Amino acid sequence: MQAEPRVIVGLDDPDDAVVYRLDDGSMLVVTTDFFAPVVDDGYTYGAIAAANSISDVYAMGGTPFLALNLSSFPADMPPDIASDILRGGRDKAREAGVIVAGGHTMDDKEPKYGLVVIGRVTEERLLVKGGARPGERLVLTKPLGSGIITTACRADKGTPESLAVATRWMLRLNRDAVAAIHATTARGATDVTGFGLLGHAVEMALAAGVRFRFYADRIPVLEEAYPLAEQWLFPGGTAANEMYFRQWVSIAPSIPEEVGMLFYDAQTNGGLLAAIPADEMEAFAARCAELEQPFWEIGEVVAGEPGVEVR
């Protein structure tokens, strides 16, 4: 394809959004995402879908400010349910400082909802998947497990309590997480969503030409996910992740198979995975404390064959 110099991040990159440079040198971050319901309550579903869409702007280091609705609803859906979904998306966008200024709706057999989101970013704050460097520490800002929990609950094999825990994390914006990353000079990050932790980590490692080393006992997983993993109630997307990305992944034989699969678990609005310079971890941790932003240091970036290892 013909190169377009204004497109700083585009089709040739594995990143979460497009980055476009304007005439004045400022840069826009543009992204879109939508999906079918992961919870039954329309308002909560709309809020989760909006948070997930907005997250891609945060993953690029940007500040979101404008959005459009993307929705498809069955023709016979009660109007109040559609209204709840849109209202949930609007309210979550407002929490993020984003104006929802319009959008498009079409008929479909299954509800789907999300946003087109536009944000701003400066060159100094731009985060990309290829920005990790050897010696940096790997941090994750949300626990894993939302995929298997929501799938199990849809099959009536989970519990309302486990879904409530997963929902609280899915509703949490990644705004404070990226603010903490910006307290450092880190340039490598992504958000953990459909490809799971290991899938997105592979994308980062390959893009940067480095190796990610994770320590299994440091990777946060929701406690409610473990018994579901033992029953092998993973969503289809998790199995697809393992089949595709395993060629770049090495998991120690001592790690139980179901635990390894949890690291592939397809997430909805998961946390940010970032590579933080080792000498700036204290600044990162201090900013997280100020913002009451959880994080886990789960590994390190090393030189070597590009890929991911879990010890």
pLDDT in tens, 112-159: 999 999 999 999 999 999 999 999 999 999 999 999 999 999 999 999
pTM of the entire predicted model:
0.96
Please indicate whether the domains covering 7-121 and 129-310 agree at the CATH topology level.
Answer: no
Mean pLDDT, the chain, rounded, equals 96
Looking at 3.90.1150.10, 3.30.1330.10, 3.40.630.30, 3.20.20.80, the CATH number of the domain 7-121 comes to 3.30.1330.10
Determine the CATH number of domain 129-310.
Answer: 3.90.650.10
Given pLDDT bands bounded at 50, 70 and 90, which one contains residue 13?
A: confident
Distance CA 241, CA 264 (A): 6
pLDDT in tens, 79-118: 999 999 999 999 999 999 999 999 999 999 999 999 999 9
Buried b (16+ CB within 10 A) or exposed e, 287-298: bbeeeebbbeeb
Q: Where are the domains of the chain?
A: 7-121, 129-310
> What is the chain written as a DSSP string?
----TTEEE-TTS--SSEEEE-TTS-EEEEEEEEE--SSS-HHHHHHHHHHHHHHHHHHTT-EEEEEEEEEEE-TTS-HHHHHHHHHHHHHHHHHTT-EEEEEEEEE-SS-EEEEEEEEEE-TTT--BGGG--TTPEEEESS-B-HHHHHHHHHTT-S-HHHHHHHHHHHHS-SHHHHHHHTTTT--EEEE--TTHHHHHHHHHHHHHT-EEEE-GGGS-B-TTHHHHHHTT---HHHHHHHHHHGGGEEE-TTS-HHHHHHTTPPPSS--EEEEE-GGGHHHHHHHHHHHT---EEEEEEESSSSEEEE-
pLDDT at residue 306, rounded to an integer = 98
Structure confidence at residue 105 (pLDDT): 93
Q: Can you give the pLDDT at residue 34?
A: 95
Q: Are 92 and 47 in contact (CB under 8 A)?
A: yes
- Express each pLDDT in 175-216 by its tens digit: 999 999 999 999 999 999 999 999 999 999 999 999 999 999
For 187-196, the pLDDT digits (tens) are 999 999 999 9
pLDDT computed for residue 294 by the predictor: 98
Q: In this predicted model, what pLDDT tens digit does every residue of 215-255 receive, in sequence order?
A: 999 999 999 999 999 999 999 999 999 999 999 999 999 99
Reading the block at residue 7, the tokens are 């497109």
Identify the pLDDT of residue 11: 85
Structure confidence at residue 4 as a pLDDT band (50, 70, 90): confident
pLDDT given for residue 109 in this prediction: 93
Mean pLDDT of 259-285: 98
Identify the pLDDT of residue 179. Answer: 98
Nearest to 93 by CA among 46, 63, 50: 50
